[in-house]
Structure 1
Amino acid sequence: MSRTIAGVLAVLLVVGGVAGVALSPAAGQAATHESTVNCSFPITVTDANGANVTVSERPERVVTLAPSASQVVWELGAQDSVVGMPVNQYTSYLNGSSEKTNVVTDNGQPQIETIIGLEPDLVLAPNIISSDAVEQLRDAGVTVYRFESASSIGDVVEKTRLTGRLLGTYETATDVSARTQAAVEAYRNATTGAERPTVYYAMGGGFTAGPQTFIGDVIDAAGADNVASAANISTYDTISTEVVVEENPDWIVVSGQSPIPSDPALSNTTAIQENQTVRVDANFISQPGPRVTQPLRTLATAFHPEAAADVTADPSTVSAPVCAADAMEPTTTESASATTTDSSAETTEMTTDSTTESTTAETVTLETNQTMDQATEQTTTATGPGFGIVAALIALVGAGTVTRRQ
């Protein structure tokens, strides 16, 4: 692997840390419901492969194949049902994760025999997991749900609700997703009308995240404009130093312990001149999950300190489908969807048992998992709720290490 790619992966996997947004007194109230969805078992849903996946009864033994999927399960309070998951620096912030059985290789790919041996009732697979691996598990009689990619925070909200249905924790999922969505909407509203600074998200190795990515949506929700647009980058790709210099970003964002870009050509940009650089938690910015509110808060506070200071989220204003035992037919992920731009967050701040900073170069492998989840998901499917981040990057770099992060 070239140093450039290694650098990119390292940046993707690094970890930092942040706080959360305040919930209004109505936080404990249920969200407003507009439609119904089937939450009783058996449940049948269509996954990213177009397969109709049936979960006969509430799963007691669950395997997650990516850190982001694990994060969602923890936020739903279903961690006791997890018997296998990626056990590494990308999941070390989840209490009790070290006690689970590791089910992925150093490259983040599933260990088929280990997974089968755990006799899981359900396996939650990110799109970064190959179709071949999914089929191997299914051929062995294992029930696998393969998620689509998450290219927006709204996709995280949808994924959270869907996961809740699959695990039999839908009521909790609606509460978690409502807090997330309400927090994101609150930050968007707080920065509406304010002058939007320009931002360069430096992933390392010249790579950046475009506006049509999970990371790009976080930047947008924080009230800033992504300079990647000037280079016609929509997902993940390299951006030339010349374009960055020409766009003269007001801020440079990096994750975890990644170094601030040191290219002399950037020394005269506003971001460097004014020392306007900000770090976000690498796991939470690269793992599409409810804890996304932490990096969102960090960025919004940096870009709009006054507007973000008193942000209050009201989960009771969020609409979500409600369980209906008499639902005519189990629906696909679209039933449990919310507005694409609204999304995940507050839950993070409410339940961050551990926000351990664990990353850097090593993180590259695991966080790449999460990042690759989305990456692969974005390259193999269109868009939708999933567990990964770097599509174009995957296409450019290939599966391998990148897969670990998601």
Structure 2
Amino acid sequence: MKMLGRKRLPRWVTLVALTVFTAVTGAGVAHALQVTDERGVTVTFAQPPQRIVSLLPSLTETVCALGQCQRLVGVDRYSDFPLSVRSLPQVGGGLDPNIEAIVALKPDVVLMATSSRVGDRLQSLGIKVVALEPMSHADVKRVLQTLGQLLEVPDAQQVWRVIDAGVLAAAQSLPASVKQTRVYFEVNSAPYAAGAASFIGETLTRLGARNIVPGHLGPFPKLNPEFVVRANPDVIMVGDRNYAGMDGRPGWSGMRAIRERRVCVFSAAQSDALVRPGPRMAEGARIMAQCLQEMAGRTP
């Protein structure tokens, strides 16, 4: 019986087959990009997004810290750093933005807080949404990793290493005399405080201070004003937007911090650096460290 040998396929057939295989398996240059946000939702992109709308200042700052400011095409009304973002179209507040304004910008993705109420509406209009809302140092590190993956920025964690080193340097700049200073940090005059579980509280801990608001109350709890009176902190940290009338609250004038003028009142610019969990956390640490040092040297 005569054996028939296998014929060699023409080269063009081989090339076509390889092209189809590449397209199906993603073995070539083109590839799907997936990120999982803090809702636990996995979002798929055909390519890294080039047109981004950010609805949270800390996310705006993080995109820019990763060297991708040029991809931003719109921001919320509170995103004002770095200066270049102030010239971008504003689409309203982060929680209740102008949907029509966002759609008009034709974004590849909208970055928003998990607490924002517009995610489902945007998705129903065919707009991809990634929800991220950092509350702690670990969250900031994770958000950097997620956005670095989304934007295909190599070594996004370099930004975190700079932040971490800056916080450490701020802590090392303080004398032992300020250690264990009991601090109340007010983020809103309701009053809402920065608890020990928040990124602000974690920074205070790294600086050696003691937060009067325990972690089990949550990152940013609303307090009964009497709680602060009973805790009687050594130092109060507050933005100038919320400071007015503080000493007129029932019982507050008798607290040590107010009686001895141990209150650090931060400017609007300083407050923004302090309360945004992102690339400027090292700057926030330096501001708090300076406050602690100044208050330690203040006589009643």
TM-score per shorter chain, which class? 0.7 to 0.9
Instruction: Tell me how far apart the structure 2 counterparts of residues 287 and 170 of structure 1 sit (CA, whole Å).
Output: 24
Aligned in 2, Cα 1:206/1:49: closer, same or farther, shift over 3 Å? closer
Aligned in 2, Cα 1:204/1:242: closer, same or farther, shift over 3 Å? same
Q: 2:61 aligns with which of 50, 54, 71?
A: 71
1:300 matched to which residue of 2?
289
Q: What letter is aligned with 1:271?
A: A
Equivalent positions of 1:3-402 (< 5 A) are: 42-86=32-76, 88=77, 90-105=78-93, 108-130=95-117, 133-147=118-132, 149-171=133-155, 173-188=156-171, 195-202=179-186, 203-229=188-214, 233-259=217-243, 261-262=246-247, 263=249, 265-280=251-266, 281-304=270-293
Q: TM-score, normalised by structure 1?
A: 0.57
Q: What letter is aligned with 2:99?
A: I
Q: TM-score, normalised by structure 2?
A: 0.76
For the Cα contact (< 8 Å) 2:33–2:48, is it kept in 1? no
Q: Which has the larger radius of gyration?
A: 2
Aligned in 2, Cα 1:191/1:108: closer, same or farther, shift over 3 Å? same
Instruction: Tell me how far apart the structure 2 counterparts of residues 251 and 41 of structure 1 sit (CA, whole Å).
Output: 53
Aligned in 2, Cα 1:52/1:246: closer, same or farther, shift over 3 Å? closer
Shift of 1:250: 0.7
For the Cα contact (< 8 Å) 1:207–1:237, is it kept in 2? yes
Q: What letter is aligned with 1:272?
A: I
Secondary structure of residue in 2 paired with 1:103: coil
Aligned in 2, Cα 1:251/1:41: closer, same or farther, shift over 3 Å? farther
Greater relative CO (CA pairs within 8 A, separation 6+)? 1
Secondary structure of residue in 1 paired with 2:44: strand
Percentage of matched positions with identical amino acids: 28
Could you list the per-position Cα deviations for residues 31-66 of structure 1 after superposition, in whole angstroms to 9, with x for gaps in the alignment?
xxxxxxxxx953212222322211221222111111
Shift of 1:193: 7.2
Q: Structure 1 unaligned runs (5+)?
A: 1-39, 306-406
Instruction: Tell me how far apart the structure 2 counterparts of residues 273 and 301 of structure 1 sit (CA, whole Å).
Output: 20
Aligned in 2, Cα 1:252/1:48: closer, same or farther, shift over 3 Å? same
Aligned in 2, Cα 1:185/1:267: closer, same or farther, shift over 3 Å? same
For the Cα contact (< 8 Å) 1:61–1:119, is it kept in 2? yes
Instruction: Tell me how far apart the structure 1 counterparts of residues 288 and 68 of structure 2 sit (CA, whole Å).
Output: 30
Shift of 1:92: 2.7
For the Cα contact (< 8 Å) 2:48–2:150, is it kept in 1? yes
Deviates more, 1:175-184 or 1:262-271: 262-271
Q: Structure 2 unaligned runs (5+)?
A: 1-29, 295-300
For the Cα contact (< 8 Å) 1:41–1:58, is it kept in 2? no
Aligned in 2, Cα 1:140/1:224: closer, same or farther, shift over 3 Å? same
Shift of 1:191: 6.2
For the Cα contact (< 8 Å) 1:55–1:122, is it kept in 2? no
Aligned in 2, Cα 1:199/1:160: closer, same or farther, shift over 3 Å? same
Give the superposed CA RMSD: 2.8
Q: What letter is aligned with 1:83?
A: V
For the Cα contact (< 8 Å) 2:166–2:283, is it kept in 1? no
Instruction: Tell me how far apart the structure 1 counterparts of residues 68 and 162 of structure 2 sit (CA, whole Å).
Output: 18
For the Cα contact (< 8 Å) 1:154–1:181, is it kept in 2? no
2:27 matched to which residue of 1?
none
For the Cα contact (< 8 Å) 1:222–1:303, is it kept in 2? no
Shift of 1:81: 1.0
Secondary structure of residue in 1 paired with 2:189: coil
